[in-house]
C-alpha cells in the first residue's frame, strides 16, 4: 500500500475518534513509529509501498480510546523518551517539574528513593541529571516495574537505579538507607473523584497509580510518614500533589520527624509540589 493512502486511511479512522484532536499529527506519529523513521522523513515517502498491518493495528487501538502513548509505546519526559504501555502511568508534563526540582536538590553522588516509580521516568532522569547519584525506585505494581526495568536498561542505569517491589518503607532493606532525598508522584486523586477522570485515563491507566484514597491524601500521608524512617537527618521529601487545595491540607499535618519547608508551582502555575 502506498504510504500516502495508508496515511489517509488512518486519518479517516482517527477523525471519528473521541479525544483525538489532531488526527493528521497522530497518523504521522503512528507511521513514523512503525517505519522507524523521523516524522520529517515521511513527507518524501508518500509514493513508497509499505506494509499497512502494524500501523492499522495501532490505529484500531487508538480508535478504541487507548492513550496515544501506549499505542506508540513511548512518551517524552524532559529531554528523554521513556518506554510505556499498559501497566504504568503515562508520565505527565507536571512531573517534569518534580524531577527537575529533585535534580536541583540532590547533590552530586546523592542517594535517592523514587517511591511509586511507575515507568521509572523520575528515577532514570534524576540519575542522569545528577552526577554519580544512586537511587532506589520502588513500586507496588509488578506491571509497572516491568516498564521501569526496560527504561533502566535502555539508559544503562542498572548499576545506579535499583528496582524494588514494594508498597511501604518496610520493603527497603536497611543497608540501602538513609536517603538524601525521597521523591514521589503518589496516587493523589480523591477516591470520590475517580469517576470524573477522562475515559482514556480511567479505562486504560492503572488505578493503583491514581487513586489516593479518601480526599486523595491517604496514600500521600502514608508515604510522608514512611519517608521519615528512610531519610538521613536533614534529608528532604519532594512530593507531587493534586494542587493548592491538597497541599494546604498536607502542609498543615503534624508528622513526627518531618517539617514542611515550602512549595513549588508547576509550569501551568498550579501550586503542585510540596517540600518537607
Using CB under 6 A, list all residues that contact ligand GLN: 92, 185-189, 201, 210
Choice between 87 and 110, CB closer to ligand GLN: 87
Q: Judge contact between 185 and 126, C-beta under 8 A.
A: no
Write the DSSP assignment of 194-262 as a string of letters.
GGGS-HHHHHHS-GGGTB-SGGGTHHHHHHHHHHHTTEEEEEEEEEE-S-HHHHHHHHH--BTTB---E
Quickly tell me which residue has 521529601 as its cell: 237
Minimum CB separation from ligand GLN for residue 211, in Å? 8
Comparing CA positions, the residue from 124, 88, 99 lying closest to residue 210 is 88
Minimum CB separation from ligand GLN for residue 209, in Å? 6
Per-residue cell: 106 = 540532590
Choice between 34 and 184, CB closer to ligand GLN: 184
Comparing CA positions, the residue from 34, 147, 42, 41 lying closest to residue 88 is 147
Choice between 57 and 192, CB closer to ligand GLN: 192
Choice between 74 and 185, CB closer to ligand GLN: 185
Comparing CA positions, the residue from 168, 182, 178 lying closest to residue 238 is 182
Choice between 3 and 113, CB closer to ligand GLN: 113
Choice between 85 and 186, CB closer to ligand GLN: 186
Minimum CB separation from ligand GLN for residue 239, in Å? 10
Q: Output the CA angle 62-64-69, nearest 5 degrees.
A: 30
Choice between 77 and 188, CB closer to ligand GLN: 188
Choice between 35 and 201, CB closer to ligand GLN: 201
Minimum CB separation from ligand GLN for residue 201, in Å? 5
In angstroms, what CA-CA distances link 4 with 12, 43, 55, 59, 72? 12, 9, 13, 15, 20
Per-residue cell: 113 = 528513593
In angstroms, what CA-CA distances link 26 with 19, 49, 70, 81, 88? 12, 20, 13, 17, 21
Minimum CB separation from ligand GLN for residue 186, in Å? 6
CA 91 to chain CA centroid, nearest Å: 3
Minimum CB separation from ligand GLN for residue 250, in Å? 14
Comparing CA positions, the residue from 56, 46, 57, 40 lying closest to residue 5 is 46
Minimum CB separation from ligand GLN for residue 242, in Å? 7
Minimum CB separation from ligand GLN for residue 89, in Å? 6
Amino acid at each position: 500500500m502506498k504510504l500516502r493512502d495508508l496515511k489517509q486511511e488512518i486519518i479517516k479512522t482517527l477523525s471519528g475518534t473521541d479525544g483525538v484532536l489532531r488526527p493528521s499529527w497522530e497518523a504521522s506519529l503512528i507511521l513514523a513509529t512503525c517505519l522507524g523513521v523521523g516524522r520529517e522523513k515521511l513527507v518524501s515517502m508518500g509514493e513508497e509501498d509499505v506494509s499497512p498491518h502494524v500501523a492499522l493495528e495501532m490505529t484500531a487501538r487508538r480508535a478504541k480510546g487507548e492513550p496515544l502513548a501506549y499505542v506508540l509505546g513511548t512518551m517524552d519526559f524532559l529531554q528523554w523518551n521513556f518506554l510505556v504501555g499498559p501497566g504504568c502511568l503515562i508520565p505527565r508534563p507536571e512531573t517534569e517539574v518534580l524531577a527537575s526540582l529533585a535534580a536541583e536538590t540532590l547533590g552530586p553522588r546523592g542517594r535517592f528513593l523514587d517511591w511509586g516509580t511507575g515507568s521509572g521516568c523520575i528515577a532514570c532522569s534524576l540519575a542522569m541529571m545528577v552526577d554519580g547519584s544512586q537511587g532506589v525506585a520502588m513500586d507496588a505494581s509488578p506491571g509497572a516495574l516491568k516498564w521501569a526495568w526496560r527504561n533502566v536498561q535502555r539508559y544503562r542505569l542498572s548499576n545506579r537505579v535499583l528496582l524494588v517491589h514494594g508498597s511501604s518503607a518496610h520493603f527497603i532493606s536497611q543497608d540501602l538507607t538513609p536517603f538524601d532525598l525521597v521523591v514521589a508522584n503518589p496516587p493523589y486523586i480523591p477516591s470520590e473523584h475517580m469517576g470524573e477522570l477522562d475515559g482514556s485515563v480511567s479505562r486504560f491507566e492503572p488505578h493503583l497509580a491514581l487513586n489516593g484514597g479518601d480526599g486523595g491524601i491517604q496514600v500521600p500521608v502514608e508515604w510522608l510518614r514512611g519517608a521519615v524512617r528512610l531519610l538521613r537527618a536533614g534529608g528532604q521529601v519532594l512530593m507531587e500533589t493534586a494542587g493548592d487545595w491538597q497541599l494546604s491540607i498536607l502542609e498543615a499535618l503534624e508528622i513526627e520527624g518531618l517539617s514542611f519547608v515550602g512549595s513549588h508551582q508547576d509550569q501551568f502555575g498550579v501550586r503542585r509540589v510540596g517540600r518537607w
